[in-house]
Amino acid sequence: MAGLDMIRSYLSESEDSDTQDDSKINRDKISSSAKNLLQRFSVPESILSLKGTKHHEDVHDDPSQHDGRTRTFKHERGNWATLVYINYPDYSPICSWLRELPQQIGIKEVLNFFTEFHLSLTRCLVLKFHWIESFVDSLQKLCQSTGEILVEFRDLKVYCNEERTRTFLGLRCEDRNKILKQFVINIDKILAEYQLPSFYEDASFHVSILWCLGDVKEKLNASLPALNESWNSICAEHFLHSFEVSKINCKIGNKMYTFPLK
């Protein structure tokens, strides 16, 4: 779960930074009583101001804490990592199929398999705290005016993130009525109000099933014919051709919102 596990790793570090918050509060208390004390001895303001703390604290990104992935945006207090997506709940046949895949892929890179699956409808966004309420409200209204969607699985496709630091194998998805495409256009209109980036111009809807570090697009592409053959037989065996979408999920920080479609 690319966007989603990015939010998780972002959150685990926000928790660290919350602990840092407590020590910062203590530091601030100490520095404010020291300030009072020093003022009594009339120390010049210019010297006192040397002990200022930063308003925003950047948190050091340690890739070893999250399978070598690097963050694509800086952790800053007041920023909330956000993703709008569709949950794909029928994961057990896919998980068992994934266990057989390493032999068919045969690359030296470590393959990381997702155990929960989603279809992203936005990029991983950064929302300011004071935007959350109105953003959630607009998204809810949009969902209330959008009918249910039937998503069909197509072939497997290889994707890279924009920084080319991770490669993903995804199940390409389409909906015959093109509701999904219009829905994303409407989400993009909401995002534009906050000057947030829209979804990919050449949007290719997919459910990622595995990822590995680096840009190994070419190597994975070489395995695609065999992988597609294998996927087609699993699809037929477990009737995995399509799934109905009746609700949309939105994860903002550690909060999950679920909006039913019309």
**Site residues for ligand AMP per CB under 6 A:** 2-3, 120, 159, 161-162, 168, 200, 202-204, 208
Nearest distance from residue 31's CB to ligand AMP, in Å? 42
Catalytic position from the list 55, 56, 60, 118: 118
Tokens standing for 39?
A: 């003022």
Q: How far apart are CA 167 and CA 202, in angstroms?
A: 18
Nearest distance from residue 146's CB to ligand AMP, in Å? 20
Catalytic position from the list 75, 206, 238, 241: 206
Q: How far apart are CA 69 and CA 73, in angstroms?
A: 12
For residue 76, give Cα distances in angstroms to 73, 81, 102, 175, 209.
Answer: 9, 10, 38, 37, 30
> Nearest residue by C-beta to ligand AMP?
2
Nearest distance from residue 118's CB to ligand AMP, in Å? 7
Q: How far apart are CA 123 and CA 83, in angstroms?
A: 7
Q: How far apart are CA 2 and CA 83, in angstroms?
A: 10
CB of 17 or CB of 72, closer to ligand AMP: 72
CB of 9 or CB of 120, closer to ligand AMP: 120
Q: How far apart are CA 28 and CA 199, in angstroms?
A: 41
CB of 22 or CB of 202, closer to ligand AMP: 202
Q: How far apart are CA 147 and CA 260, in angstroms?
A: 9
Catalytic-residue membership of 206? yes
CB of 79 or CB of 208, closer to ligand AMP: 208
Catalytic-residue membership of 241? no
- Give the strand pairing for 112-113 and 255-260: unpaired
Q: How far apart are CA 6 and CA 16, in angstroms?
A: 16
Q: How far apart are CA 211 and CA 2, in angstroms?
A: 8
CB of 43 or CB of 185, closer to ligand AMP: 185
Nearest distance from residue 18's CB to ligand AMP, in Å? 26
Nearest distance from residue 6's CB to ligand AMP, in Å? 8
Question: Catalytic amino acids?
Answer: 118, 206
